[in-house]
């Protein structure tokens, strides 16, 4: 019974995970309710595998999917980031330059701090790489919710590492999911880049 439950959960995570990324590539706001389902299921799966940093990550995903759902629907009005058609839908843009120092500091500092804690005070496996993918995913999910193009680069790096982690832990379905995510991250970059309304040479929002 336990084996069947675990496989059912992993299969649900696989399907919902692929669907929410496909919807994200297409800039469809339904990516967020599907992402909520994926995050809840994955909390259970990774907790059973003692990947505690991933538990924190997916609890965060629950919150950020709710935030992204709201921001994609109403952020275009509050920030003036409308589509080229003039609607209030949120447009793709670059991460402002002033944000990058904080992003790097949070990424490195958070990864080291979380890895040290889990390595010294818990039974977590692969504490440092697991913590890095967790913190990097925090950042990438925030970027996705804000519709920043560079989220796809960070997701690609995370996906490469996660494939290895899940294979080592025997979670083949999730390893397969993240292998597919690699290709989807490339497809997402290409699709969003085409819709970017700011010309590279200008980029006034990055000052």
127-146 vs 100-121: helix axis angle to the nearest 10?
150
Which pLDDT belongs to residue 200? 47
How confident is the model over 92-101, as pLDDT tens digits?
A: 899 999 999 9
- Beta carbons of 181 and 155 less than 8 angstroms apart: yes
Residue 82 reports pLDDT greater than 60: no
Q: Please, which pLDDT band fits residue 86 given cuts at 50, 70 and 90?
A: very low
How confident is the model over 104-116, as pLDDT tens digits?
A: 999 999 999 999 9
Which pLDDT belongs to residue 89? 66
Q: Please, which pLDDT band fits residue 154 given cuts at 50, 70 and 90?
A: very high
Q: Please, which pLDDT band fits residue 12 given cuts at 50, 70 and 90?
A: confident
Query: What are the residue ranges of helices labelled H in the chain?
Result: 2-25, 31-48, 52-79, 100-121, 127-146, 151-168, 172-195
Question: How does DSSP classify residue 206?
Answer: G
Residue with the bigger pLDDT between 173 and 200: it is: 173
Residue with the bigger pLDDT between 80 and 142: it is: 142
Cα distance between residue 173 and residue 126, in whole Å:
19
Q: Whats the size of the chain, residue-wise?
A: 207
Which pLDDT belongs to residue 85? 44
Cα distance between residue 25 and residue 119, in whole Å:
35
Beta bridge partners of 148: 93
pTM for the full predicted model:
0.79
If one counts every other C-beta atom within 10 angstroms of the C-beta of residue 80, the result is: 10
If one counts every other C-beta atom within 10 angstroms of the C-beta of residue 55, the result is: 20
How confident is the model over 177-196, as pLDDT tens digits?
A: 789 889 999 999 999 998 77
Residue with tokens 């944000």: 99
How confident is the model over 107-151, as pLDDT tens digits?
A: 999 999 999 998 998 888 888 998 899 899 999 999 999 999 999
Residue 19 reports pLDDT greater than 70: yes
How confident is the model over 22-68, as pLDDT tens digits?
A: 999 998 999 999 998 888 888 888 888 777 777 887 888 889 998 99
Residue whose C-alpha is closest to residue 167's, from 116, 138, 126: 126
């Amino acid at each position: 019974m336990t084996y069947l439950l675990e496989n059912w959960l992993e299969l649900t995570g696989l399907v919902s995970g692929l669907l929410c990324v496909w919807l994200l590539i297409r800039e469809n706001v339904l990516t967020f309710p599907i992402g909520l389902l994926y995050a809840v299921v994955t909390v259970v799966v990774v907790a059973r595998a003692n990947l505690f940093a991933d538990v924190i990550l997916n609890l965060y995903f629950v919150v950020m999917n709710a935030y992204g759902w709201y921001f994609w629907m109403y952020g275009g009005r509050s920030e003036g980031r409308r589509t080229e058609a003039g609607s209030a839908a949120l447009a793709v843009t670059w991460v402002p330059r002033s944000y990058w120092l904080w992003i790097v500091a949070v990424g490195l500092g958070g990864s080291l701090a979380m890895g040290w804690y889990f390595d010294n005070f818990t039974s977590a496996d692969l504490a440092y790489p697991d913590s890095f993918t967790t913190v990097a995913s925090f950042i990438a999910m925030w970027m996705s919710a804000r519709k920043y193009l560079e989220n796809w680069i960070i997701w690609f790096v995370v996906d490469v590492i996660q494939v290895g982690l899940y294979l080592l832990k025997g979670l083949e379905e999730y390893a397969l999911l993240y292998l597919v995510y690699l290709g989807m991250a490339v497809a997402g970059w290409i699709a969003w880049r085409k819709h970017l309304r700011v010309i590279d040479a200008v980029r006034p929002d990055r000052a």
